[in-house]
Amino acid sequence: MAGNRPKNQKAETPATDDESTGSLKLILGLTLLIVAVALGLMAWNTHQASQQQELRILQRDALLAGERLNKRADRTIDRLEQELRSGARISGINAEYVGVDELVGLNAAVSSADEDMAGLGAMASDLISSNQRLGLLDDGRFVLVYVPIVGTSVIATVDAGQWIPPIDTGARLVLTGKVSASFGDKSVVPPDRTVIRRGLGISQQGFLNRSASACVGIGRADFGLCMSKPNPLLTMQNGIELSLYVLLLAAPTLAIFGLYGSLSGKSSKGTARSKLQLQSNEKFELASANAGVGFWDVRTSDASAWVNEEAARLLGMNDYGDVPLGHFYNHIYTKHRDLLKDAIDDARPSQPFIATFSTAVSAGESWMEVRGSQNYRNDDDTAVISGVIFDVTESVRAREKQKHAESRLRNAIESFPCPFALWDHNKRLSYWNRAFETSFDLESVLRPGVGYETVMLARSGKVISERTSPDDSGVTLLGLRNGEWVKLVERATPAGGLITFGLDVTNDVRNEDQLTKQKKKLKGLVQELERSEGHNAELARKYNDERAKAERSADSKSAFLANMSHELRTPLNAINGFSEILVNEMYGPLGDRRYGEYAQDILTSGQHLLDMINDILDIAKIEAGKMTIDPKPIDLVDPVDAAVRMIRRKSEDKGIQLSLQAEDALPEVDADHRAVRQMVLNLLSNAIKFTDAGGRIHVAVQQKDNFVRIAVRDTGVGIPKEHLPRLAQPFEQVQETRERNYEGTGLGLALTKSFAEMHGGRFTIASEMGKGTMVSIYLPVSTDIIRSDRNVA
């Protein structure tokens, strides 16, 4: 027995070693499993942190996109409100000016026979009933509804692509609601067009294909806004990190199977894990610092907050991470603190807010902007308000400088004692001072966006003389009815607009008149000396006397015509005004209908007499050589169209069809806009007078060689050929026509012929009894155009 103990002992030693080895392998295996799980959790935690950062950036981009969309809607409503307050009709508002594609009234849309337009009106009504202003159509257009205080509501439509801000490559922006529309790089609208829930999240389209999305609400809109980017599970960065963790796991594995450095292996793995997490945090903080954007969270449930290092630096805090909420608020300027508190207290899910404030350290010297919204934490569902903070000091200062500069410029222009106006590239009024408004009595005409020609026509009532400088076409000398003289200068701006400003030159004009009188007086003295030289001088004196008598006679005639004009027009205005009141029965019915017929006869006769007086005065001015015109290169269709529109009502009342046809690309003509309009009005008045109901009047504008012809053709009674040569003479009429019972002076054609000849043109007339008359005016093409054509040839 004793001899066998050592043998037995040797036999038991291997079993003990095997048990010990098995226990060691189990311990090492469990240790390796724990290390692998720890490394996996750490990798997943790093991935989740990176994912959360990506979602926050995506949410920030979505908030910015929604804010820009709301600003575009606000700017459109401001311009609409401005136009409607100025008295503009919906059909007269420039849709491009307010920033949309189409404008229509709500009542017109609802009652429209067009199904699409009626559907648009129904959608707008639903938006108004739900206190919303923005909607989304099936074709990807926005619908904006504006409800003014007084008047019908306005519906505006615009292509969504015009209001959607630019999107980074690889991003996709989806508008979600009853319908969906997407914008961005190779984006596709989901076929089911379901509403994407507002918030942050990752959607899975496969094992490896995923996308990150952030959805926010749009204020007073029936749709939301989602920003999404591809977020695959396996990327190059994830592959590198996974390789790193595999290498970290391989190190202890080799150590365990080599039965060496188990404890040191664990220590090295823990050290590597700490370094990796530290590197991840350093990368996040480095990116935040480089972008100048800080991140923060506020948890109202436990009155705590969290700020990263960049946010702490912007707020002037010495520490970062988890801080008390009161400590967070204490670093905001006292007067701005309540603004941020109210914004955080009123925060709601998917309703972003923006607050601008100064920190307690800077106290108004630097400005920060906070943007955030309410979210929910995934662990305990506690409400968290999170967002970003960045420095906007330069933007705030730039805005203040711009406001101060604009204010100083407006004050300087407003204090300028002479007229000043600014026009945009479409020659629509942008800005004017008080002097421009009062100098030309334009109080009832001026409003932003009014056309240049409209202002010029309204200004003519205040102007009695207008002379363009021969040296500079942009300089005009205006004589006003109050005796003042204004030198008006117009210059183009680099942006394609126009600046108009005037200078008071009344004293200069008066001094020039005095100099002219002195020259005349000196000339008279010289002539007086010449008359004393003999018989020839005596004859010259008598000749001058007779000429002076003739001039005095002409002056007396002019004075008589002027006095007659004033004395006749004054009672005629009263007669016409009171007879018009009687015809319209403004103060109640007249009783017997014959009183109304008599009043209409009085009004018609008074208006006819007033036209006769005006024609007589114009003929007298032409004969005296005092009638002047101001020819400028113009498009001849403009005054012709204006005359047709002015007299169309008269032709419709008589049952006559009036039409206008003009060739395309007509050359400009050197002509006076007012004189051309008057010539066409005279011809159209004659045509209507001598054309029966059911007849036709056709106006044509066409080029004939170096002339542009205006032809007025009617289907009236016609004129015998033997009477045509004398019709263009003053006071000449055809006595034999059956229409001679219509009163008239026979001055219309004479005035038209005189005006045509003053323009360097000619006047022709052709007629046939029972078939109608055609009168033509030939006005020469602008000399600049003829010269350029010759140079080309």
pLDDT the model gives residue 221:
86
pLDDT the model gives residue 155:
92
pLDDT the model gives residue 206:
47
> HEC string of 690-703?
CCCCCCEEEEEEEE
Q: Where are the domains of the chain?
A: 8-230, 294-396, 416-505, 533-621, 628-790
Which residue carries 């009168």 as its tokens? 775
* Protein fold of 294-396: Beta-Lactamase (3.30.450)
Q: Is the pTM of this model over 0.75?
A: no
pLDDT the model gives residue 591:
80
Q: How far apart are CA 288 and CA 654, in angstroms?
A: 80
Q: Which CATH number applies to 533-621: 1.10.3470, 2.160.20, 2.30.29, 1.10.287?
A: 1.10.287
The values of phi and psi at residue 424, to 5°, are -85, -175
Q: Which residues of 285-308 are buried (b: 16+ CB within 10 A; e: fewer)?
A: eeebeeeebbbbbbbbeeebbbbb
C-beta of residue 691 within 8 angstroms of C-beta of residue 659: no
The class that CATH gives domain 416-505 is: alpha beta
Q: Which residues of the chain have pLDDT under 50?
A: 1-15, 179, 183-198, 204-207, 259-274, 736-742, 790-793
Which residue carries 């005629």 as its tokens? 572
The secondary structure of 476-537 as a DSSP string is EEEEETTS-EEEEEEEE-TTS-EEEEEEE-HHHHHHHHHHHHHHHHHHHHHHHHHHTT-HHH
pLDDT the model gives residue 2:
35
The class that CATH gives domain 628-790 is: alpha beta
**Rounded (5°) CA angle 467-472-474:** 75
Domain 416-505 shares a fold with domain 533-621: no
Radius of gyration of the chain (CA): 44
Q: How far apart are CA 753 and CA 683, in angstroms?
A: 11
